[in-house]
Amino acid sequence: MTVLPNILPIMKRVAIFASGSGSNAENIAHYFEGRSLIDIRMILTNNPDAFVLERAAKLGIPSAVFTRKELNETNRVLELLKQEEVEWIILAGFLLKVPESLIHAFDGKIVNIHPALLPKFGGKGMYGDRVHQAVVDAGERESGITIHYVNENYDEGAVIAQEKCVVLPTDNADDVAHKVHALEYEYFPRVIERLMLQNSL
Ligand code: GRF
């Protein structure tokens, strides 16, 4: 009997962490609808008022809220992830530092998106519009996105992909934000897809 190699990618169980609007989380969910590559088991947030919770409800994806204390000082988040047999964590606008316990439990399987070209404009306190304002203030002629693995330090894990956009001298922080969001929506799901495929082989 001939045994055929299993060339079908195996579905990965994923959790998305987000702290705010969650437009990237929703975009990722839509991208993978009808594809059997990733199964978004849950959307987790540290912010009970985050709009991502409404998006999750509409998408029919289970969600949960945890506190900073629970994240850092208890096993609650790890237990939630274990219950759903989550294998990969995608940070999409998640503002808290990921504790070492989680980084070790998901070694090399936590991915973040940063709305600038790291190593520039990264680190603690550099998120959202602050990043875009800093880019404008520095007179940069380009910005973009960095998708990277997460390690113990903010925005310092190995880079997986970067995509760039032009910053015009007349652009304000909002203009840059629009361009960067467009890159996020176009590339983040595709990079996740590529990573999952690479890890299925
Ligand atoms: C994105 O710009 C992402 O790069 C950054 O936070 C923002 C989140 O936006 N880390 P949203 O919540 O996905 O709309």
Q: How many CB atoms lie within 10 A of CB 37?
A: 16
Predicted confidence (pLDDT) per residue in 1-22, tens digit? 555 555 566 799 999 999 999 9
181 is catalytic: no
Mean per-residue pLDDT over the chain, rounded: 94
- Residue 92 near ligand 1, beta carbon < 6 Å: yes
Predicted structure pTM score = 0.93
- Residue 93 near ligand 1, beta carbon < 6 Å: yes
- Residue 144 near ligand 1, beta carbon < 6 Å: no
Rounded CA gap, 127 and 162, in Å?
Answer: 17
**Res 36: pLDDT:** 81
Among the listed residues 30, 104, 114, 178, the single catalytic one is 114
Place of tokens 């956009």: 165
Rounded CA gap, 199 and 97, in Å?
Answer: 25
- Residue 184 near ligand 1, beta carbon < 6 Å: yes
- Strands 142-149 and 159-166 come out as antiparallel
Q: For ligand 1, atom 5, which residue shows the shortest CA distance?
A: 93
Closest CA to 112 of 10, 18, 12, 194: 18
Predicted confidence (pLDDT) per residue in 53-106, tens digit? 999 999 999 999 999 999 999 999 999 999 999 999 999 999 999 999 999 999
Rounded CA gap, 123 and 118, in Å?
Answer: 9
Q: Which atom of ligand 1 is nearest to the CA of 113?
A: 4
Say if CB 153 and CB 94 are below 8 A apart: no
| pLDDT over threshold 90, residue 155 | no
Q: Which of 91, 181, 188 to mutate to test the pocket of ligand 1 (most atoms within 8 A of CB)?
A: 181
| pLDDT over threshold 90, residue 200 | no
